A and B are shown apart, each in its own frame.
Chain A
């Protein structure tokens, strides 16, 4: 049995009919075609599926789509554009913070969530914030450098 869900995704109204057991991750990808949200472990361990729910970082594989009814979801599709990267995306590119790119959408949104709360994080805060985002390519040093650089470039009073 499926159920209608209405929510706001990337600033626009969205709706779909899904079975109750459908995760938000699957609904975003399969119902709305927003495949930038990546399915990694699908059990909460890897962070590839991270999205913002009402402005807070969450894992879309650990949320039912029906639980997002009436809420606001932001996915990587709303962040930057090919011609105008978000400062976090630009910093990741410059600091070699990605190789295969599979973890990148979750990393970008997690970094944005951190910088919204802590404008000038130190390395430990960045490592702590990114601890739940597994990357099998970069060895993390580039990721940490990028987030620190993005915070620095935004400067005080960002």
Chain B
């Protein structure tokens, strides 16, 4: 028997999960379990209770009206609401995700293996906060909103305010991350996730996601970007890329070189040459995102 003893508590609702967490500070949430089960088997985690969210009603995946002033990410004011228990495999394959948040679908393909993506969840990935995880960086790149429910009710926070260093988040001990609201892509949108991992589908050394939106004349009017694998949590890179790429109509070699330089500078301090790796990945992702945005404009 590898894990230390615990009690499994299937929660029928978010409120039930919150109440179990409130009553027992050593209780932990079980989402997809693809990172938690290894920690249990290695006895690096020894919770008293595992509160299983499988039947807590967190599997929603739908388009909704946006609830902020025009999301910066998009000419479309709607959002894709993805419940915390939406499987990574569904993010990868569901046409709704590919159409409305293409960066999410592109990145999900790189998370673990098909066998782990069939179980692993969006919410689990964000709450686990592995510094090399793709999905938290996607949420930061797109300026997504995280929804959490705790003893005092529901609150919303920017994805960039969720990360709190290595494997840590700003969630309260009895809070449950319930959903992520991603700004939906507008007509001139294009996105790409690029990462480098020494072995196919293993944890990446670094990864960068870039999403761009072109205006009616084909000029870049918005860019969002973030990296994983650099420091303790997602590294936002939107400002660096906006400074170099705003108004551009083509991903020229000069633009890509400038973008790589700006991102390398932002990632400075990351060991083993990861800063330069990050710059290269950002240039590659920017070029792909640009091309996809142009293709999308031609098609529409």
Contacts and interface: CB of A to CB of B under 8 A. Distances in A.
Contacts, number: 88
A42 B41 contact: yes
A57 B114 CA distance: 7
Q: Does more than half of chain A's interface fall in helix, strand or loop, or is it mixed?
A: mixed
Interface residues of B, number: 29
A132 interface: yes
B114 A20 contact: no
A23 B89 CA distance: 22
Interface residues of A, number: 32
A132 B118 CA distance: 13
B116 A59 contact: yes
Given A127-B200, A128-B200, A26 B112 contact: no
Contact of A21 (B5, B42, B89, B112): B5
B34 interface: yes
Nearest to B199: A131
Given A21-B5, A63-B33, A64-B8, A47 B115 contact: yes
Interface in A39-82: 42-44, 47, 50, 53, 56-59, 61-64, 66-67
Contacts of A122: none
A15 interface: no
Q: Does more than half of chain B's interface fall in helix, strand or loop, or is it mixed?
A: loop
Residue with the greatest number of chain B CB neighbours at <10 A, chosen from A47, A57, A129: A57
A120 to B, nearest CB: 17
A58 B112 contact: no
B8 to A, nearest CB: 4
A50 B118 CA distance: 12
A22 interface: yes
Contacts of B201: 128, 131-132
B119 A63 contact: yes
Contacts of A64: 8, 33, 37, 50
B166 interface: no
Given A67-B54, A129-B114, 19 more contacts: A3-B8, A19-B1, A23-B37, A42-B41, A43-B37, A44-B34, A44-B38, A44-B116, A53-B118, A57-B115, A59-B119, A62-B33, A64-B33, A64-B50, A66-B8, A113-B114, A113-B115, A114-B114, A128-B200
